[in-house]
């Protein structure tokens, strides 16, 4: 679902804020949107995964997650992997000229 300006209104925030997200980092996902307050519907690998009131979950299984807040539509997907070795970048928008910190973890 898109807003009239074409911007996505539901976002999935990742803690810790590194991409790719990895299971052994104890990843927490928070669903944020501009809709009304209510239960958040979660999806894992394209299937309904459950409904949580506060819009925040700690991930215990690898997979691709999205959320849907009341009246805000689906968030962009976030993949949480269980890879033993990853090269991570900050989970934020980057533009040319930004200083970038990379993490190689395993």
Q: Read off the pLDDT of residues 5-50 as tens digits, 9 standing for 90 and up.
A: 445 578 889 999 999 999 999 999 998 875 556 678 899 999 998 8
Q: Of the candidates 19, 28, 91, 26, which has an alpha carbon nearest to the alpha carbon of residue 54?
A: 28
**CB contact set of 79 (below 8 Å; sequence gap of 6+):** 20, 21, 63, 64, 65
| Per-domain residue ranges of the chain | 11-105
Q: What is the pLDDT of residue 78?
A: 94
Among candidates 42, 43, 64, which has minimal Cα distance to 53?
A: 42
Residue pair 19/81 in contact (Cβ under 8 Å)? The answer is: no
Q: pTM above 0.75?
A: yes
Q: Is 51 helix (H, G, I), strand (E, B) or coil?
A: strand
Architecture of the 11-105 domain: Sandwich (2.60)
- Say if residues 27 and 21 touch (Cβ distance below 8 Å): yes
pLDDT tens digits along 69-91: 777 778 999 999 999 999 999 88
Residue linked to tokens 């992997």: 81
**Could you read off the pLDDT of 42-71 as tens digits, one per residue?**
999 999 988 776 688 999 999 999 998 777
């Amino acid at each position: 679902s898109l807003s009239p300006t074409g911007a996505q209104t539901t976002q999935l925030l990742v803690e810790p804020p590194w991409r790719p997200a990895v299971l052994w980092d104890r990843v927490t996902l928070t669903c944020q949107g501009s809709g009304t307050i209510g239960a958040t519907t979660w999806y894992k690998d394209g299937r309904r995964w459950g409904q949580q009131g506060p819009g925040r979950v700690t991930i215990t299984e690898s997979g691709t997650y999205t959320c849907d807040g009341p009246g805000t539509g689906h968030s962009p997907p976030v993949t949480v992997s269980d890879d033993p070795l990853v090269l991570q970048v900050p989970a934020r928008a980057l533009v040319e000229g930004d200083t970038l910190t990379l993490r190689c973890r395993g």
